[in-house]
Amino acid sequence: MTEEKEVQQMIEDDFTQYETVWTQFYNDKEAMEALFLMLINHYIDKINGFAEGIEVLSAYQTVEKQVEICRKNISLLIERMKLFQQNNYTNDGLFDLYLRQEKEKDVVITEMDFTTVRLSIGMMEEISSIEKEEIMQKLGEIEEICSLPLTRKRKWDKLRQYVVWISGKDVKIAIKLLPLFLKI
């Protein structure tokens, strides 16, 4: 069997392993870490940029947060494996494919309303329930300010602190929240 065929078969086998672990051991830290390490070991030298952008686990984080980070990292790795597969198992042009796919995901929709943003944030698997609660609370505060019978300048003055808060968030979250400031 050629090396290319071996890689193709390994990817298929690992997709099957991923499905099993993801469905049966979704909250199991050891199973998720083992899957993550297996994927890294299999593809770090085969797929260009495979491990770029993964989040680092810390012993100081809660087990739930560690599992959440593992799932997020695994999702990123699986996505890269699928892109490698779509790219005919070659690294030629793969980075451009990564960039194109990331841009497609991060399209900014300026006609978003608060309800749509709440639903969108609620559906994001990569953020914790604690962070979702914080975002929902801030969204309520932002919506309240936007609906006040004040001049745009006064509303903006009240909203500035939220812009600073958003700047500390992940880009995927910020892209969803920033269009709401156009509502003033």
Q: Kindly state whether residues 121 and 92 are assigned to the same domain.
A: no
* pLDDT score recorded for residue 170: 86
Domain containing 24 equals 3-105
Do 79 and 135 lie in one domain? The reply is no
User: 11 and 84 share a domain?
Assistant: yes
Asked if 80 and 161 sit in the same domain, the reply is no
What Cα–Cα distance (Å) separates residue 119 from each residue in 12, 116, 162? 34, 5, 19
Q: Which of 12-26, 49-63, 104-118, 167-181 has the lowest mean pLDDT?
A: 104-118
Domain boundary residue, one of 71, 105, 139: 105
Q: What is the tens place of the pLDDT at every residue in 118-164?
A: 888 888 887 888 889 999 999 999 999 988 888 888 889 999 999 99
93: confidence class by pLDDT, cuts 50, 70, 90:
confident
Residue 32 CA to residue 69 CA, distance in Å, equals 10
Q: Computed from CA positions of residues 107, 109, 115, 118, in that sequence, does the dihedral angle turn out positive or negative?
A: positive
Helical pair 29-43 and 3-24, crossing angle rounded to 10 deg: 170
What percentage of the chain has pLDDT greater than the value 90? 29
161 and 126 housed in the same domain: yes
Are 100 and 21 contained in the same domain? Answer: yes
pLDDT in tens, 99-114: 676 655 544 455 567 8
pLDDT computed for residue 103 by the predictor: 58
Q: 96 and 130: one domain?
A: no
pLDDT for residue 30 is more than 90: yes
Is the same domain home to 139 and 93? no
Domain count, the chain: 2
Q: Answer yes or no: do 86 and 28 share one domain.
A: yes
Averaged pLDDT score across all residues of the chain = 85
